[in-house]
Amino acid sequence: MPLKLKISVEEELEAFKSIHIQTKSSELLDEKPLEKNDNGTAPATVIEERISILIPNLLLTDLQILPDEPLGLHPTPESRVGKYLMRSLEIKGILGTGAYGIVYSAMDHSHQTWYALKALSKKRINGAPLDRRQREFQSREIQLHYAASAHPNIVSLLRIIDDPECTYIVLQYCPDGDLFSNITEMGRFVVNDYLIRATFLQLLSAVQHCHKLGIYHRDLKPENILVDGTQVFLADFALSTTDSESDDHGCGSTFYMSPECFKSSEMYRCAPNDVWSLGVILVNLTCGRNPWKQASPLDANYLAYLEDRSILKSTLPLSNELNDILVTIFEPDAEERITTEELITAVTTYPTFSKPLVTL
Ligand SMILES: Nc1ncnc2c1ncn2[C@@H]1O[C@H](COP(=O)(O)OP(=O)(O)OP(=O)(O)O)[C@@H](O)[C@H]1O
Ligand SMILES: [Mg+2]
């Protein structure tokens, strides 16, 4: 039996009701990325692994034995490669390293199935344990990702493995990497309106599902969207929240932030902020470019857009129809901005995204 687990909507809502963590991710942003430590190689000592079920309904079957690092040393990302978890799950390689987590590929030898493992460290770089707030951020990522996980376009969160030095999140493996590399390195979407629409609609459906559950992602960008063939999956709930309004300014990546997210004096609504990020992703898919570095008047490209809402048509290879959709997404007034429901209708109805090729 593969590890894959999908739960019913009732179970999902039940699990979601148990979420009470209210924390601010701006505090999390103080954490520095994990650094490489050449001296942190794990010895071959074997200790009993502590396993705890952090999420109801997730199955943890076998108690197992796992090598651990010496106390006080922070393991390098590479030092975990070759380790076994749950007896048959072998860490095979590194898929990605982000600000707060390292993602590994892993093979379950009992089913010959690949998984992705997101390792959330329990220690800071100096070896000190995380404080309560930082542990709550990790717990929130797990809880909110799990609550949203039943949707077909959200990466399945399959189980949690609690190890002395880190918490492993076992995820569905997406063999074609993230959307960023699919756009930039592979150029998969160039003048392919069919694929752009199919991809963006899957993403919209995933975000709409989260919003219906009262979960706001706050870090929508191509690096957090994973690919398996023509299917895409929303991932990385590290900055997600259940607060419909937030004063967590500067949350996420500047390219994808809404203008209200830069205004530190006001609370902003999280759903329209996610919609704005989706608009930037739609430009990425169609043009392989960002429309601006940041949606603030300090940015010359954004300022030009505020003065002329059709300027993107002259600077980027996008159609008149896509420009019409973008005007409704890149509406500076969040109250007036298009919703995910309206966007699904617009994207389904409008036939072209890329600028038609000029034929002489
Ligand atoms: N399930 C998966 N299958 C394949 N690749 C994955 C998977 N999950 C993550 N990755 C790769 O690892 C990268 C980092 O993953 P993720 O965004 O979850 O972590 P992060 O950015 O390090 O997290 P955080 O924002 O918590 O620091 C992704 O951009 C992607 O390239
Ligand atoms: Mg990420």
Centre of ligand 1 to C-alpha 354, Å, is: 29
Q: Whose CA is nearest to atom 7 of ligand 1?
A: 116
Task: Provide the 10 A C-beta neighbour count for residue 321.
Answer: 15
The predicted pLDDT at position 358 comes to 59
CB-based contact 250:257 (threshold 8 Å): yes
Six token digits for residue 328: 């409704």
The predicted pLDDT at position 26 comes to 28
Averaged pLDDT in 10-residue chunks for the chain of 360 residues: 36 36 26 27 23 34 37 74 95 87 95 97 84 91 97 98 93 97 89 93 98 98 97 97 92 94 91 98 96 96 96 94 96 97 93 72
Binding residues for ATP: 118
Q: What are the chain's domains?
A: 9-171 (3.30.200.20), 179-349 (1.10.510.10)
The predicted pLDDT at position 98 comes to 72
CB-based contact 249:261 (threshold 8 Å): yes
Q: Considering 219, 236, 248, 274, which one is annotated as catalytic?
A: 219
Q: Which atom number of ligand 1 is nearest to the Cα of residue 98?
A: 22
Which of 35, 91, 95, 251 is the best mutation target for the ligand 1 pocket, counting ligand atoms within 8 Å of the beta carbon and taking the most? 95
Q: Whose CA is nearest to atom 19 of ligand 1?
A: 98
Nearest to 176 by CA among 116, 244, 112, 107: 116
Distance CA 36, CA 76 (A): 5
